């Protein structure tokens, strides 16, 4: 006698997802199951893009079903990203499931290039993604996404994001003259960034990537306290000077109770555009060693390559311009690692709890 879909859900609820090391119990609620005799068709609702990990998660499911004399027929994964908890005292934005800060302790380490390609990689893996340029003094996202013009306002109160390569985006660079300098003090900058975040009509986004301003000064600290962040990614180079500042960024996020999702080492190798020779001009394994030192996920390395710079400067970043390149594959792996780390976080329960009413 064949089992019912509810019985199958019970069997699969105890299966461990090899990517998150969590049981699939929470995923089963939104998964679709069809049973035909001893064959089970399953559309598994996952909280992160599956990317190249289909077989890894398929195997324990087959094993669990096989123990009950069942086989797995058609199998696919559907992306259903949950909203995860943010800092105490803050609430997630209504339309944005998870805000991820991409930060570095210092400028010049390729944080913006990483942010843009991370957003594009998540989008290509099926997620709905936005990008907020939080660098008031040096906004680069407009150029990197090939966008210009000003955001439209339909109610004279809020802004519509611009869209580049399928990514919703907003930046102070859309609102001021490209050749003008933003000569603002810290409180003005923080207020402007909060307005950009909260007065933009973001669509229903799985992830909003924030390209943070460099450093750990007042602006970065205020942002990390006021923006409801699910987590942060630290970008560094292998150079000792960059690593010293990256540690400061790490400690800043820990101080404000924002989970650090992992470390990305950019410019790990210089790749000669003529002969292809790779040379570690900034040092070796600095980012990897930092991740190990603080028990953080190691998300991956990226090369210092002329093609990445040229593509990004032209408004067609690597993931979009050359999706089958080795560099694009590195960005895809990093993006998938970030999404998996987000999926491991505690879910937001504040919006799911009924309000407490005290009656006299």
189 known member of a binding site? no
Q: Does 112 count as an annotated binding residue? A: yes
Output the furthest CA–CA distance in the chain (Å, rounded).
Answer: 79
Q: Has 108 been labeled as part of a binding site?
A: yes
CA distance 313 to 310: 5
Q: Residue 127 in contact with residue 79, Cβ under 8 Å?
A: yes
**Residue 287 contacts by C-beta under 8 Å, 6 or more apart in sequence?**
236, 237, 238, 243, 246, 263, 264, 265, 268, 298, 301
CA atoms within 13 A on the CB side of 5: 12
Q: Is 287 annotated as a binding residue?
A: no
**3-state DSSP assignment of residue 102:** strand
The reply, when asked if residue 264 is annotated as ligand binding, is no
| 110 labeled part of a ligand binding site | yes
Question: Other C-beta atoms within 10 Å of 113: how many?
Answer: 23
Query: Does residue 211 contact residue 131 with C-beta atoms inside 8 Å?
Result: yes
Locus of tokens 């207020």: 191
Q: Is 276 annotated as a binding-site member?
A: no
Q: Residue 326: which residues within 8 A CB-CB, separation 6 or more?
A: none
Which is nearest to 110 in space by CA: 289, 278, 312? 312
For residue 86, what are the contacts with CB-CB under 8 A and spacing of at least 6? Answer: 92, 99, 228, 229, 230, 348
Strand order in the sheet with 96-103: 162-164, 167-171, 129-133, 205-211, 96-103, 231-236, 260-265, 298-301
Token pair 């990256």: residue: 246
What is the torsion angle, in degrees rounded to the nearest 10, for the CA atoms of residue 244, residue 250, residue 254 and residue 258?
Answer: 170
Q: Which of 31, 38, 37 is nearest to 13 (CA)?
A: 31
- Give yes or no for a contact between 265 and 238, defined as CB atoms under 8 angstroms apart: yes
Q: Is 140 annotated as a binding residue?
A: no
Binding residues: 105-112
Binding residues for ATP: 105-112
């Amino acid at each position: 006698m064949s089992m019912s879909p509810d019985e199958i859900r019970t069997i699969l609820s105890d299966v461990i997802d090899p990517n998150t090391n969590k049981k699939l119990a929470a995923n089963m609620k939104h998964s679709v199951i069809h049973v035909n005799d001893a064959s089970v068709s399953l559309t598994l609702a996952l909280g992160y893009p599956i990317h190249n990990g289909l077989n890894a998660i398929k195997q324990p499911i087959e094993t669990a079903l096989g123990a009950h004399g069942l086989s797995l027929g058609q199998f696919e994964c559907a992306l259903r990203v949950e909203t995860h908890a943010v800092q105490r005292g803050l609430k997630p934005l209504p339309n944005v499931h998870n805000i991820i800060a991409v930060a570095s302790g210092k400028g010049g380490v390729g944080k913006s290039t990483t942010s843009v390609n991370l957003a594009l990689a998540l989008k290509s893996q099926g997620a709905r993604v936005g990008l907020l340029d939080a660098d008031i003094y040096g906004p680069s996202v407009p150029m990197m996404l090939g966008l210009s013009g000003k955001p439209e306002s339909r109610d004279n109160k809020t802004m519509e994001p611009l869209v580049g390569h399928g990514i919703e985006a907003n930046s102070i660079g859309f609102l001021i003259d490209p050749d003008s300098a933003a000569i603002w003090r810290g409180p003005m900058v923080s207020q402007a960034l909060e307005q950009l975040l909260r007065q933009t009509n973001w669509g229903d986004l799985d992830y909003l990537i924030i390209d943070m301003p460099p450093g750990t000064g007042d602006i970065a600290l205020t942002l990390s306290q006021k923006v409801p962040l699910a987590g942060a990614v630290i970008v560094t180079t292998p150079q000792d000077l960059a690593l010293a500042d990256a540690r400061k960024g790490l400690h800043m996020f820990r101080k404000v109770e924002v989970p650090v999702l992992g470390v990305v080492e950019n410019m790990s190798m210089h790749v000669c555009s003529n002969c292809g020779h790779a040379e570690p001009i900034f040092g070796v394994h600095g980012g990897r060693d930092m991740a190990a030192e603080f028990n953080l996920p190691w998300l991956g390395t990226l090369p210092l390559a002329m093609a990445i710079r040229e593509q990004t400067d032209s408004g067609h970043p690597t993931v979009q311009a050359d999706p089958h390149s080795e560099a694009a594959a590195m960005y895809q792996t990093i993006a998938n690692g970030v999404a998996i780390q987000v999926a491991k976080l505690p879910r937001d329960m504040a919006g799911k709890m009924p309000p407490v009413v005290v009656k006299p």
